[in-house]
Structure 1
Amino acid sequence: MPIPPHNRRVSRAAVAAIGAAGLIALTSAPAAFGDETAPEMVIGGIEPIDGVEPGSTFDLPVTVANKGTGASEKVWVSYSVTRGLDFAEVPSNCRAQQVPSYDEMPERWIAVCAFDQGLEPGVVYTPEKPLRVKALDRALNDELRVSVGDADPGADENGTPPVAGTAPAVKLVEGQAGGEGSAPFVDVPVTSVNTADYQVKGAALKGSVGDTVTMKVAFSNAGPAWVLTREGDRLVTVVVTPPEGTSVVKPHGFCEAKGEAYVCGTSQRSVNEGGGETYTFKLKIDKRVADAKGSVALSTEARPFDTDKANDKADITLDVPGGGSSGSTGSSTDGSGGSAGGSSSTGDDDATTNGGSLAETGSSTWPITGAAAAAVATGAGTLLIVRRHRARA
């Protein structure tokens, strides 16, 4: 069943990208006209961080350098960490803000540090005291970005008002040559030793032949860690198989038919602890089938963080008077499987993500193609993600 396209607006990320392209063009123009004295800031000195224990701290030993031919007057170093991490302390020459998830970017903390000193070309510098980061109880697969520039990057307009740090100010000092990097930013994965329990919840349906009933099944993350799927990795999907003797009148908007089953995507590439999705279907009872039963199950890609596989599949039962009953999964008998993990439902096409309903955000979703759903069901390619335009905290 084709999914109708939704209205699409230009995202803030797209606007930012366009603006950045314009700034690059403007800042590169003088060099094209013979100005060879502009500074060229690069950052380095930091490698992927593995084996972090939740509750522990670690330092970020970065280096900054000027590969251009002209000295810079001031330097700004920016740090961004996803929601499993936080800054243990923030120097007074830095400002920090919390930014909620939006435009498919996960929630994160940002610290921008200003250094009122110039960087001479060819010299490597490092903060005299590295910025310290703490791994929270929900840490698992997090992301860190560090960038440098000779202009204030400003605050993210979607975040909280920036607050100046209270720890002693730091300055840049000359460091060892080498490892200075070659780009103005670097992305670093941070992996913590933690687990998360993905699980599903089925439904118990009841009705007569000819009735249309509402079926709600749920996917949730019982934690303790949140899960951020890294770029290029496969995302979880949920496979819903309605009970025999029924036909789907209206599937959930995140779901695409694949044979007798429906493959359902997620609203974004991260799932907060206690968050998840609720999938709502309208089913028509076409005939009595003794002990009719369907299922809801997680896709089978490897999830090393989830060691409990017993709750990866649940029954969808159907009781038709005169046709027998296959029992109950513990869900309500009004046709709703309910929502697991603190999620809530708001209507026929409600979907909850990270504890909140998309129906309440005004978010739009991108259509899921049949080819993408087929790729998920057969284990080939990258599986589905329903992209949303914007979510507010």
Structure 2
Amino acid sequence: MPIPPHDRRASGAVVAALGAAGLIVLAAAPAAFGDGTVSELVVGGIEPIHGLKPGDTFDLPVTVANKGGTAEKVWVSSWVTRGLDFVDVPSNCRVQHVESYDELPEHWTAACAFDQAVEPGVVYTPEKPLRVKVLDRAYRDRLRVEVGAGGAQRDDEGGDPSVAGTAPAVKLVEQPAGGEGSVGLVNVSITSVNTADYQVTGAALRGRVGDTVTMKVKFANAGPAWVLEDDEVEPGVQIIVTPPAGTSVVKRDHDCHAEGGKYLCPPHFGMNMAEDAQMVYTFKLKIDKRIAGAKGSIALTTQLRPFDHNKANDKADITLDVTDGGSTGSTGGSASGSNGSTGGSTDGSGGSAGGSSSTGDDGTTSNGGNLAETGSSTLPITGAAAAAVVTGAGTLLIARRRRARNLS
């Protein structure tokens, strides 16, 4: 008997809001039955796991109990983020890949249906637990386990078609009383020993006085781990772009915020940095005058990043070669140290993240005027401005509405 669909958009927002705490506990709504009794299913046995290594496997010691009326059929749904994967999935479970949405990261769900009664006051566990493998890209991941009455659910929009497991089906078996849990949904953190290399690439610009040149600079994660940002564990990285002296910004990248002569640019991907993610920030600079040795930079902010052991590539130069002679202000070219793309980028879930094209930005100054922004100031970046950028970064997340539909 399938359970009715629920508002996955709303429930996803709640889980996302609490997810950074590392351990989330939410009560599941009771399910009503025709005989007037009400089941109250709870899940237990799930704890955070730390210190894993790529290639490791671990079992999910899930317990299910019923504190209400008898449930004639139940489901247990587990999902893991992209550093983990399910192996040896029983045939009474269906696995589905779901893209990131509503601040929830990309994940894989294994929804297992148990066509058997769960009696009040009895603790059950699957006769063989689900097994999870730690992938090469694992670092900080999440595990979520939920229990409910009736049939399991699937994510309709953005989720790939679910696939049945191939291992023998399992059933729930009774366990000794105790440790039965107290809630219907649990989220915990799963961490692995791994590294990720955040790095930046500068640009080499060339033109005459009066020219407007295009500057492309890049931020990337060279892996091997993906990183699920968690501000409560460590603040998310920001990118600081400082144009060379003697230039003014005619048009800034639309994701970047001006602070004096510097620009703070958030990652386009919000919380998620896939192991192969990269993004290009595009500016248009006018060469106002020739200054010998003028040089700008792109650099990462200095928040603690224990996963990133290579600090040598956290900053790169933006050089400017001003050739002799004047100019009428025509658009000039640039030789960029980036990949030369026009702003395409790969998000933390493997899809498009909107890139760094400057379309849609009119190049206005930070106070809303239409004058070009100078690139020669070196004013410090204030905490308030950084906070504004973090707030603004939230608007980059693309909210995708979804609805739940029952598994057939």
Q: Percent identity?
A: 60
What SS does the aligned partner of 1:155 have? Answer: strand
Deviations 1:53-111 (A, max 9, x none): 1011100101111122x110101000100111000110011111111223332221111
- Whether the aligned pair in 2 keeps the contact of 1:296 and 1:315 (CA below 8 Å) is yes
CA distance in structure 1 between the aligned counterparts of 2:207 and 2:162, rounded to whole angstroms: 55
Instruction: Quote how far apart the aligned CAs of 1:265 are.
Output: 0.6
Instruction: Quote how far apart the aligned CAs of 1:352 are.
Output: 4.3
- Pick from 327, 330, 342: which aligns with 1:346? 342
2:207 maps to: 207
1:104 maps to: 103
CA distance in structure 2 between the aligned counterparts of 1:374 and 1:152, rounded to whole angstroms: 53
Distance of aligned partners of 1:375 and 1:275 in 2 relative to their CA distance in 1, 3 Å threshold:
same
- Whether the aligned pair in 1 keeps the contact of 2:122 and 2:177 (CA below 8 Å) is yes
Gaps of 5+ in 2: 1-6, 15-28, 326-332, 361-365, 368-380, 401-408
- Whether the aligned pair in 2 keeps the contact of 1:215 and 1:337 (CA below 8 Å) is no
Count of aligned positions: 348
What SS does the aligned partner of 1:385 have? Answer: helix
1:317 maps to: 319
Counterparts of 1:106-185 in structure 2, within 5 Å, are 106-157=105-156, 158-185=158-185
Deviations 1:230-266 (A, max 9, x none): 3644211101011101111111111101121100012
1:194 maps to: 194
CA RMSD of aligned residues (A): 3.2
Instruction: Quote how far apart the aligned CAs of 1:179 are.
Output: 2.7
1:23 maps to: none
Q: Which one-letter code corresponds to 1:59 in the other structure?
A: D
2:337 maps to: 337
1:45 maps to: 45
Distance of aligned partners of 1:351 and 1:256 in 2 relative to their CA distance in 1, 3 Å threshold:
farther
2:247 maps to: 246
Moved more, 217-226 or 150-159: 150-159
Distance of aligned partners of 1:176 and 1:107 in 2 relative to their CA distance in 1, 3 Å threshold:
same
Q: Which one-letter code corresponds to 1:169 in the other structure?
A: A
2:328 maps to: none
Deviations 1:245-291 (A, max 9, x none): 11111111111011211000122211111112211111111111111
When the two structures are superposed, what TM-score results if normalisation uses the length of structure 1?
0.80
CA distance in structure 1 between the aligned counterparts of 2:11 and 2:119, rounded to whole angstroms: 33
Distance of aligned partners of 1:12 and 1:321 in 2 relative to their CA distance in 1, 3 Å threshold:
farther
- Whether the aligned pair in 2 keeps the contact of 1:375 and 1:383 (CA below 8 Å) is no
CA distance in structure 1 between the aligned counterparts of 2:30 and 2:56, rounded to whole angstroms: 43
Gaps of 5+ in 1: 1-10, 19-26, 324-332
1:67 maps to: 67
What SS does the aligned partner of 1:263 have? Answer: strand
1:81 maps to: 80
When the two structures are superposed, what TM-score results if normalisation uses the length of structure 2?
0.77
CA distance in structure 1 between the aligned counterparts of 2:131 and 2:12, rounded to whole angstroms: 29
Deviations 1:321-375 (A, max 9, x none): 149xxxxxxxxx7243323xxxx7335xx554346543489xx99xxx99xx843
CA distance in structure 1 between the aligned counterparts of 2:105 and 2:31, rounded to whole angstroms: 34
What SS does the aligned partner of 1:177 have? Answer: coil
CA distance in structure 2 between the aligned counterparts of 1:276 and 1:251, rounded to whole angstroms: 19
Instruction: Quote how far apart the aligned CAs of 1:174 are.
Output: 1.6
